[in-house]
Amino acid sequence: MKIILVGLGVIGGSFAMALKKAGHEDIYGIDTNNATLQKAKDLKIIKQGFTTGEEILGKADLIILSIYPNEVKPFIEKYRSYFKEGAILTDTTGIKGAFIKEIICLLDGLKVDFVFGHPMAGREKKGIDYATERVLMGANYLLVPTEKNNPKNLDFIETLIYKIGFGKVKRVSVKFHDEIIAFTSQLPHVMAVALVNSDEEGKDTGSYIGDSYRELTRIANMNEELWSELFLGNKENLLHVINNFENELSKIKKAIYEEDKATLMSYFIKSTERRERLHKKHFIF
pLDDT score of 139 more than 60 = yes
pLDDT of residue 123: 67
* 137 phi/psi in degrees, rounded to 5: -65, 120
The 10s digit of each residue's pLDDT in 64-101 is: 999 999 999 999 999 999 999 999 999 999 999 989 99
Q: Which of 136, 123, 244 is nearest to 183 (CA)?
A: 244
Query: Is the pLDDT assigned to residue 284 strictly greater than 60?
Result: no
Residue 124: the pLDDT is 67
pLDDT, mean of residues 212-231: 92
Note the pLDDT of residue 149: 97
Angle between helices 69-79 and 224-233 (to 10 degrees): 90
Of 26, 77, 76, 79, the C-alpha closest to 52 is 79
β strands within the chain, DSSP E: 3-6, 27-30, 48-50, 62-65, 88-91, 113-120, 140-144, 168-171
Transcribe 264-282 into DSSP letters. Answer: HHHHHHHHHHHHHHHHHHH
* Those residues with Cβ within 8 angstroms of residue 222's Cβ, 6 or more apart along the chain or in another chain: 124, 189, 193
Average pLDDT of the residues of the chain: 94
Q: Residue 283: which region, alpha, beta or left (left: phi > 0; alpha: psi -120 to 50)?
A: left
Partners of 117 in the beta sheet?
Answer: 143
Give the span between the Cα atoms of 223 and 121, in whole angstroms.
14
Model confidence at 182: pLDDT above 70: yes
Q: Average pLDDT in the 187-195 region?
A: 96
Confidence category of residue 282, pLDDT binned at 50, 70, 90: low
**pLDDT class for 202, splitting at 50, 70, 90?**
confident
Residue 268 confidence class, pLDDT cut points 50, 70, 90: very high
Question: Is a pLDDT exceeding 60 seen at residue 46?
Answer: yes
Q: How confident is the model at residue 279 (pLDDT cuts 50, 70, 90)?
A: confident
DSSP 194-207: HHHHTSPTTS-GGG
Q: Write out pLDDT tens, residues 159-177.
A: 999 999 999 999 999 999 9
Q: Tell me what pLDDT residue 78 has.
A: 97
Q: What is the pLDDT of residues 99-108, one digit of tens each?
A: 999 999 999 9
Name all domains of the chain by residue range, CATH numbers in brackets.
3-172 (3.40.50.720), 177-282 (1.10.3660.10)
Global pTM reads: 0.91
